[in-house]
A = this chain, B = another copy of it.
Amino acid sequence: MTIAQQDSTETQGTGLQKPLQGIRVVDLTRVLSGPFCSMLLGDMGAEVIKIEPPGQGDPVRAQGGIKDGLSWYFASFNRNKKSVELDLRDAGDKALLAELIRGADVLVENFRPGVMAKMGFGPKVLADLNPRLVSASVNGYGSTGPYIDRPAFDFITQAMSGFMSVNGRADQPPLRSGQPITDLVAGLYTAFGIVSALRARDLNGRGQHVESAMLNGILSFMAYLASEHLMTGALPERTGNDHPLVAPYGLFRASDGEVAVAPSNDIILRRFLRALDLEMLLEDPRFDTNPKRFARRDELNALIDARMATDSQASWIDRLNAAGVPSGKVQNLREALEDPQVQAQEMVIDLPHPGHGTVRMLGFPVKLSETPCEARLPAPRLGEHNDEILTPLRAALSARAGAGKT
């Protein structure tokens, strides 16, 4: 466990400027896909200003377990952000938002397509307010096509994308993932798109619109399953934990637990069987080609299981990895988070939240050697930064009104 350091400056560590230092993000997102995106920007050094409905805030503030008055789900997706309350149906607050947008670099939202325009912030308005603005949408289906008005949800886009069709066992129906994967993939793609668009702006001086949809994102993860289907027309099968084409592969039984083994090519297969002292099977006419091994998979797996039973799970995992065979165990979430490798990678961090104790959360999946991601700010209290952010905006608005009169 690492205690994340809090720091009011943006230049901790090496003192070098961070990737998104000086970038101000107006964050209209709520719940998961958008807040994940804006958190990634905050982790890279951006100033993220989270706009929330007055008195109420992001619905996630009230979701999941609450401890010392704080939702840890909210805390873990809203670090490195400031909170400002604005009522986006109120004309005065809309004027403040417009003023905020004038001086911002990025605006990110995860409304349904068209909602921004209805609120008076369509593409033309945004471009007029700030031609250098990178505006970004995370949404379900994109902003063109027949489904643009549909409300989206992770489970639905998992279903529609084909993800579920390849998740599950052959003898059972398609299955959703327990991870909210389509939200997160879309949020991550959007963050990548935003930083790319900022770099384009650095080159060409102009802002633009970035969009990533949950359905498109998870579809792009069909990878070789898609290329095979597009070539052959055949549909990929659900095969549970077995490889659709290769044997041996999967979970094998050591004396005290299962070991996952993935011998993905002939070289690694030979290492695996050699480590088991079963290399002679590769000369055995029953098993000397992959098609034969695949056809006699049960028989082959039984021979391997018999050998695996002679030693423990931990010992086999060490022995196989040392022999160059990818291997590990199925871990529950506690085991995963306590895994010494996960700890060494600082993937669990403790962040003090004044008034709410210390929140333990996931760390940073992107490691930068000179300008590392940092938890500079704990998740904000609702409206915590109203004064800091809104007072200068009000002054600027007054000055603008005064200038307009003279």
CB-CB contacts below 8 Å: A242-287 with B: 249-250, 260, 262, 264-265, 268
Tell me if B236 and A192 are in contact (CB < 8 A).
Answer: no
B interface footprint on A178-201 (CB within 8 Å = 1, 0 otherwise): 111101110011111101111110
**CB-defined contacts of A63 to chain B, threshold 8 Å:** 224
Which chain B residue lies CB-closest to A360?
B230
CA distance A147 to B140 in the complex (A): 37
Q: Which residues of B contact A222 (CB under 8 A)?
A: 179, 333, 336, 362
B166 near A368 with CB under 8 A, answer no
**Interface code A207-237, partner B: CB below 8 Å = 1, 0 otherwise?**
0111111011101111111111111110110
- As for how many copies of this chain the complex holds, the number is 2
- Does any Cβ of B come within 8 Å of A111's Cβ? no
Of the candidates B40, B196, B250, B366, which one forms a contact with A19 in the assembled complex, judged by CB atoms under 8 Å apart?
Answer: B196
* Cβ contact within 8 Å between B210 and A333: no
Interface-lining segment among A72-80, A94-102, A298-306, A395-403: A72-80
Assuming the A-B contacts A220-B365, A321-B151, are A336 and B160 also in contact, with contact meaning beta carbons closer than 8 angstroms in the complex?
yes
Instruction: Choose one: B165, B192, B241, B336; the contact of A333 (CB below 8 Å).
Output: B165
Which residues on B sit within 8 Å (CB–CB) of A88?
none
Known: A155-B260, A165-B333, A173-B330. 15 other contacts (CB 8 A): A17-B200, A65-B227, A76-B226, A141-B345, A142-B341, A144-B345, A145-B340, A150-B326, A151-B326, A155-B249, A192-B192, A200-B370, A216-B363, A230-B360, A231-B360
| Contact of A362 with B220 in the complex, beta carbons under 8 Å | yes
CB–CB A371/B200 < 8 A: yes
Say how far A372's CB is from chain B's closest CB, in angstroms: 9
- Which A-B residue pairs are the 8 nearest by beta carbons? A145-B344, A166-B178, A153-B326, A19-B196, A208-B370, A162-B336, A209-B369, A193-B366
A 80-100 to B, binary, CB cutoff 8 A, 1 in contact else 0: 000000000000000000000
Tell whether, in the assembled complex, residue A366 and residue B200 are in contact, meaning their CB atoms are under 8 Å apart. Answer: no
Tally chain A residues at the interface, Cβ within 8 Å. 151
| CB <8 Å contact, B178 and A239 | yes
- Chain B minimum-CB-distance residue to A226: B362
Contact with B along A138-165 (1 / 0, CB 8 A): 0011101111011111111101111111
Known contacts A161-B336, A219-B362, A221-B179: does B228 contact A344 (CB below 8 Å)? no
**Residues A165 and B331 in contact in the complex (CB < 8 Å), given A145-B345, A192-B366, A241-B175:** yes
> Which residues of chain B have C-beta atoms less than 8 A from A155's C-beta?
241, 249-250, 260, 262, 326
Q: Which residues of B contact A366 (CB under 8 A)?
A: 189-190, 192-193, 196, 210-212
Best-surrounded residue of A16, A179, A188, A233 (most CB of chain B within 10 A): A179
Q: Which of A221, A235, A333 counts the most chain B CB atoms within 10 A?
A: A333
A361 part of interface (Cβ distance < 8 Å)? yes
Query: Does A29 make an interface contact (CB < 8 A)?
Result: no
A292-317, CB < 8 A from B? none
Could you tell me if A199 and B156 are in contact, using CB atoms closer than 8 angstroms?
no
Q: Does A385 contact B (CB under 8 A)?
A: no
A103 at the interface (CB under 8 A from B): no
A335's nearest neighbour on chain B, judged by CB, is B162
Taking a contact as CB atoms closer than 8 A, the residue among B73, B169, B227 that contacts A73 in the complex is B227
Contacts of A24 in B (CB 8 A): none
A20 on interface, CB distance cutoff 8 Å: yes
